[in-house]
Amino acid sequence: MKVLITSGGTTEPIDSVRGISNFATGGLGKLTAECFLEDGHEVILLAGDKAVLPQASQRLTIITIMGTENLYEEMKRCVPLVDVVVHSMAVSDYRPLYMTGLENFPSVLTERDLLNFHPHHAKKISSKSNYQIMLLEKTPKIISFIKTWKPHVLLFGFKLLAGVTEQELIDVAKEKLISTQADFIIANDLEDIKNNQHKAFIVSTDSIERLHTKSEIADKILSVSKTYYS
């Protein structure tokens, strides 16, 4: 099999010296890549610039990813080449449109003022204002494009929430199965992730299974993929 794995977090630049980063370490993506490699498969790993990486291998291609636009382009190019996609990267939901001193707005402003504001382009934002406002726009949900690029690819998506009940987690995963056309959603709660402990549910339209560690999740993704293509 050929598998595409995304791992770590994206970074959306604010200016030339700072950006908004997602904190994911890439640990699960690394483990999953290692499972597929040890079992003899080919892996393309799209990894955030701070993600932990597997050891080099002739069957492993690593591509460093910065923002969502970069990720979109690389996935569009790579998805048609693979049999399985494991999209475990923490992708920015929002990207900055601008950041500017609050004093650049009138004291009474409208939504239109905010949306139509075009600040003077600064390579590095000055630190003179007491307050800054940032306007952020939603990024495209890249996972929703994957099946349009390759309808029969086996797709594992992820959903991370924080401090919710198990039932909420499962309900949200089931919604995401439909909205993304993923075959499986691995749903996890940030509060249940500590080092190798990594409680999660792997949810499909007709099954829910509880998993407990990163290794268990990685093994499960490999075994489901092998069954699917056997």
Chain residues binding a second copy by CB under 8 A are 9, 11, 14-24, 50, 90, 92-94, 99, 102, 105, 107-111, 114-115, 123-125, 127, 129-138, 160-163, 190
Supply the minimum distance, in Å, between the C-beta of residue 197 and a second copy: 17
Supply the minimum distance, in Å, between the C-beta of residue 82 and a second copy: 26
Supply the minimum distance, in Å, between the C-beta of residue 165 and a second copy: 13
**Amino acid at residue number 34:** E
Supply the minimum distance, in Å, between the C-beta of residue 83 and a second copy: 29
Would you say 63 or 135 has its CB closer to a second copy?
135
What's the angle, vertex CA 133, arms to CA 128 and CA 137, rounded to 5?
Answer: 140
154-161 and 184-194 beta bridge pairing: parallel
CA distances from 163 to 83, 188, 189, 208 (A): 34, 10, 6, 20
**Amino acid at residue number 209:** E
Would you say 57 or 70 has its CB closer to a second copy?
70
Q: What are the beta bridge partners of residue 98?
A: 135
Element (H, E) at 200: strand 197-204
Would you say 130 or 205 has its CB closer to a second copy?
130
